[in-house]
Amino acid sequence: MKSVRLIAPLLVCLLFVPLAWCQGNVEQQINTLTDQAVQALLKGDTSFFEKYYADDAMIIRGPGAQYTKAQDIEFFKSGANKFEAYDVHERKIHIYGDTAVASMVASAKGSVNGKPFSGDYRVTRVWIKQKGNWKLVLYQVSPIE
């Protein structure tokens, strides 16, 4: 009976500690991908988005304009969307198995079709794990009034 009392807590630790460790690892992966996305935006580097957008990704910007993966990548390649600054103030990441929701508040400055913009924005990115790789399936940016 004593051995059962000693083994039970050990089994609980073995079952739940790896789960907590894995969630921390996923959170770090999403944080790293978020940082890489910011750098790609600043550099106008579409290779990040070509690699990490899911083929059926939905991108929603500004007042509700919706883009496909190909449209959004072309939007950057054409030079229509340029960033001068992008600073993340808040970041929250929630893990739901093979899905991660990253929400943040960011200050951004740049231009769209030659018209300057600047301000604070609420940004949401939904990532899913497909075939062992994280893919961005939803990216929404809304200005904070």
Cβ atoms of 53 and 70 closer than 8 Å = no
User: What spatial distance separates the first Cα and last Cα of the chain, rounded to whole Å?
Assistant: 64
pLDDT in tens, the chain (145 residues): 555 444 544 344 344 444 444 445 999 999 999 999 999 999 999 999 999 999 999 999 987 899 999 999 998 899 888 999 999 999 999 999 999 999 999 999 999 999 999 999 999 999 999 999 999 999 999 999 8
Q: Among 48, 70, 71, 43, which Cα is nearest to 125's?
A: 48
Name the 3-class secondary structure at 139. strand
For residue 1, what pLDDT is reported? 54
Q: Phi and psi (nearest 5°) for 91? A: -150, 130
Q: Which two tokens stand for residue 56?
A: 């059926």
CA dist 136 and 11 (Å) reads: 36
Q: Is this model's pTM higher than 0.85 or not?
A: no
For residue 130, what pLDDT is reported? 93
For residue 63, what pLDDT is reported? 79
Q: Give the rounded distance of the alpha carbon of 73 from its chain centre.
A: 16
User: Can you list the domains of the chain with their CATH numbers?
Assistant: 2-143 (3.10.450.50)
For residue 24, what pLDDT is reported? 56
Q: Are strands 53-61 and 133-143 parallel, antiparallel or unpaired?
A: parallel
Q: Phi and psi (nearest 5°) for 23? A: -65, -40
For residue 45, what pLDDT is reported? 93
Tokens 């300057």 correspond to 116
